[in-house]
Amino acid sequence: MSDALVVFTPSGKRGRFPLGTPVLTAARQLGVDLDSVCGGRGICSKCQITPGYGNYPKHGLTVAPDALSEWNAVEQRYKDKRGLIDGRRLGCQAQIQGDVLIDVPPESQLHRQVVRKAASARAIAMDPATRLYFVEVAQPDMHEPSGDLERLGNALRHQWNIEGITASPGILRKLQSVLRQGNWSVTVAIFADHRPGPARILEIWPGFHEGPLLGLAIDLGSTTIAAHLTDLSNGAVIASGGVMNPQIRFGEDLMSRVSYAMMNPGGDAEMTAAVRLAVNALAQSVTAEAGADPAAIMEAVLVCNPVMHHLFLGIDPVELGQAPFALATSDSLAMPARELELTALNPEAQLYILPCIAGHVGADAAAVALSEAPEQSDDLVLIVDVGTNAELLLGNRQRVLACSSPTGPAFEGAQISSGQRAAPGAIERIAIDPRTKEPRFKVIGSDLWSDEPGFGEATARTGVTGICGSGIIEAVAEMRLAGIVDTAGLIGSPAQTGTERCIADGRTHAYLIHDATDTGGPRISVTQGDIRAIQLAKAALYAGARLLMDEMGVERVERVVLAGAFGAHISARHAMILGMIPDCPLDKVTSAGNAAGTGARLALCNAGARAAIEAQVKRIHKVETAIEPRFQEHFVNASAIPHAIDRFPELARVVTLPVVSHNTGADGGGRRRGRTRG
């Protein structure tokens, strides 16, 4: 027998190879996904495989105990030094001696699938733009003069099929000493993304270097900035962190920041400097938390809305403040991170910014589209990314539409009298007894309801400090369910509602949830002003969704996905009682967690995903809410709770909303008892 049959699992690829062929070589020739950094020199251990012995009728294979060459000294050395699971071999060392079945474990697959923890179990397929390669470079020769970079390029071409490389002056400055220090063996980090052009050397180490290679996925929001430090070899998030966006001091929402730039010469530059500083500080803190070296961060991917996009790039956002809302560029951007003063990463680190969909629908919405893939949905899905500015996508396999809606910061607990950030002590869940009108609640940091024994002790450290975004949504929805608030959004008087918790507050009323003033704590209530702020926010959101439905020519959606860190905490039932989202079966309302952040991670871990979203964004049809005449009409109708005219038949299956009106026709919060029907 001069050759033998090799079958690889899980790919099922098979072929015959001459005896003595290393398993790694056979894998490469068949296109089997088997990793290697050292190119078969027995030092990286990325090529681990598990041979199967015995009978495999399914594959038509019988594997003899000597189907592979004997365990060798290189494998033993590796096992002694780093450990190797029993039954594993190094694919570059084990040679084929007979028919054999080879399993490639997930850790050895370069393009392995990383299952996301989020609700929708879509996997991230690893195909990073930056990888490590170990090479042996020819020494200089007086008779064949060539530069060190050119000889490194030749080595990469011959040993790794990498055609054409480029290096910055920074890399060239260290190239010669590193090559000599490594005795002409070096490891290089090479960046080659989906765009044509030469591969770029990002880093070079003497001898064999096993990493890690890290990437930073950044979700730059108007209120908060989040970053996920990710291992580029396996997609694992090794640390995450967040900070408040320091631009808040220039304006709470996007338009107030645009006006700040308009009114104050140099204001845009001030905001640019502030946000770049914050992103650098965040990169440093997540890296420190992971105990990692910031120089190991080779790539960053950034997603954000158009105003944040322009301010981060140092572009005056003034055009985004007025129709026709022209972006300086809507295309994706790729550049060395240092060009945008991201100095906390490796000096050669590359930055990728996802494309924007339109002047009001940014790279963050593109990231949500990448993560949630509405273009692959059989049913009509509405994806809502709730934030200071809400981004909405509506679509299915036929068509995808997008718009944004100015919800303001009310859903984040801002502009709410007792509102606060989602932090320990904040009320996040609330239930009101429809009969007694008494509230019970839960705060972040404790699993107990406020009427359960032990609640006081459990919250002694944090106290009950305020209401966060998800808490205020539940509070208003529960007040509506209990008849404390009517369809128009009016809080009733004690006489109208039958509870002394409705206290007079000027000419209106407020509903008291928790009073800790006798122990020096806060008095937490929902005021008429709070209800108005929530009505404005939810009406903007709903009106945006309705505009997309009009454009699509539909009256109903089949599925709703709530995205955004905040979306993860909203109760679907309460969101629908409030009329934030259109009616649909409650079990079809799901949360996607931080989908924009997931989209950023996808683009970070898979260069092909960058090409995919660039193409997809061109197919998404944009609907501009600001100039659409029907927006106002939809907005007014959506101010009622849940809605002035749209019906909610699915919601009616699970809850019965009391028909009450607290409007006395006098001062908006009068003393006569409201009508109560049904």
* Contact footprint for ligand FES (CB under 6 A): 24, 36, 38, 40, 42-47, 90-92
Nearer to ligand FES, 62 or 159 (CB): 159
Nearer to ligand FES, 89 or 429 (CB): 89
- 109 vs 499, beta carbon nearer ligand FES: 109
Work out how close the CB of 180 gets to ligand FES at its nearest, in angstroms, rounded to a whole number: 24
Phi, then psi, of 621 in degrees rounded to 5:
-90, 130
Neighbour order of strands in the sheet with 621-622: 589-593, 559-563, 381-385, 390-395, 400-405, 621-622
Q: What are phi and psi of 648, to 5 degrees?
A: -125, 65
Dihedrals phi, psi of 127, to nearest 5 degrees: -160, 65
Token reading at 280: 């650098």
CB of 93 to ligand FES, least distance (A): 7
Least separation, in Å, of the C-beta of 157 and ligand FES? Answer: 19
DSSP H or E segment with residue 392: strand 390-395
Supply the minimum distance, in Å, between the C-beta of residue 162 and ligand FES. 16
Nearer to ligand FES, 24 or 167 (CB): 24
Distance CA 39, CA 25 (A): 10
Distance CA 595, CA 565 (A): 8
* Cis peptide bond prior to 212, omega within 30° of 0: yes
Closest distance between ligand FES and the C-beta of residue 213, in Å? 16
Q: How far is the CB of 74 from ligand FES (least distance, A)?
A: 8
CB of 1 to ligand FES, least distance (A): 26
- Are 178 and 169 within 8 A, CB to CB? no
Nearer to ligand FES, 91 or 466 (CB): 91
Nearer to ligand FES, 38 or 402 (CB): 38
Residues 156/190, Cβ–Cβ less than 8 Å: yes
Supply the minimum distance, in Å, between the C-beta of residue 410 and ligand FES.
55
Task: Give every strand in the sheet of 130-136, ordered side by side.
Answer: 130-136, 185-191, 199-206, 165-167
Q: What is the 3-state secondary structure (H, E, C) of 396-461?
A: CCCCEEEEEECCCHHHHCCCCCCECCCCCCEEEEEEECCCCCCEEEEECCCCCCCCCCCHHHHCCC
Q: Which two tokens stand for residue 549?
A: 């439905």
**Cβ 11 to ligand FES shortest distance, Å:** 18
**Shortest distance in whole angstroms from residue 203 CB to ligand FES:** 19
Neighbours of 466 (CB within 10 A): 22
28 vs 180 by CB, closer to ligand FES: 28
Nearer to ligand FES, 36 or 389 (CB): 36
CB count within 10 Å of CB 393 equals 27
Instruction: Give whichever of 59 and 79 is closer to ligand FES, judged by the CB atom.
Output: 79
39/347 with CB nearer ligand FES: 39
Residue 520's contacts (CB-CB under 8 Å, 6 or more residues apart) are none
From the list 496, 518, 522, 521, the residue with the least C-alpha distance to 508 is 496
